[in-house]
Amino acid sequence: MMPTFDIVSRTEMTEVDNAVQGAMREIGTRFDFKGSSSSIERKDEVLLITAEDDLKLKQVQELLRGHMAKRKVDVGALDFQKPEQAFGNSMRQNVLVKQGIERELAQKIVKTIKGAKIKVQVAIQGDELRVTGKKRDDLQAAMALIKASKIEHPLQYINFRD
């Protein structure tokens, strides 16, 4: 059996829910939100932010980011879509919670590792990557290389097997 590890991108949805609830509690108690109809709701892997205007929308985004960070959810997993006008002057914005590694990114990671001439094999398995090598040191070198390549997407390294 050769040493392997998996590169995945998973966002813990229970922690996302906790962060949303925390942000909503704060919106409910903050004076500057008094009487405002600002809210955050989650439907599957999409968060919907509604706010009265641009300023409130930005404040809600900041609250959400802060509460995500407190719950150890990588804010890189949040993909803020373009805000759109809702009824009246209010604003609405979808925020996608990324799960898995998209094909394009997976190919970029494979290319990066191959380009570094580290003695490992990388296989794309659905929305995850499996890295296999003869030596544990090669696997660690591959891991260090990916961490150093400043990928915006949150990645986790799991199932390290010798």
Of 133, 49, 63, 146, residue with least CA distance to 94: 49
| Residues of each domain in the chain carrying CATH 3.30.70.990 | 13-97
User: Domain 4-10+100-161 has what CATH class?
Assistant: alpha beta
Q: Under CATH, domain 13-97 is a member of which superfamily?
A: YajQ-like, domain 2 (3.30.70.990)
Cα torsion for 79, 130, 114, 133, to the nearest 10°? 150
Of 120, 145, 123, residue with least CA distance to 133: 120
**CA 34/CA 151 separation, integer angstroms:** 39
Mean per-residue pLDDT over the chain, rounded: 95
- Model confidence at 112, pLDDT cuts 50, 70, 90, reads very high
Mean pLDDT of 28-34: 93
Cβ–Cβ < 8 Å for 93, 52: no
Cβ–Cβ < 8 Å for 23, 42: no
Global pTM value: 0.84
**In this predicted model, what pLDDT tens digit does every residue of 120-152 receive, in sequence order?**
999 999 999 999 999 999 999 999 999 999 888
86 pLDDT higher than 90: no
- pLDDT value of position 116: 95
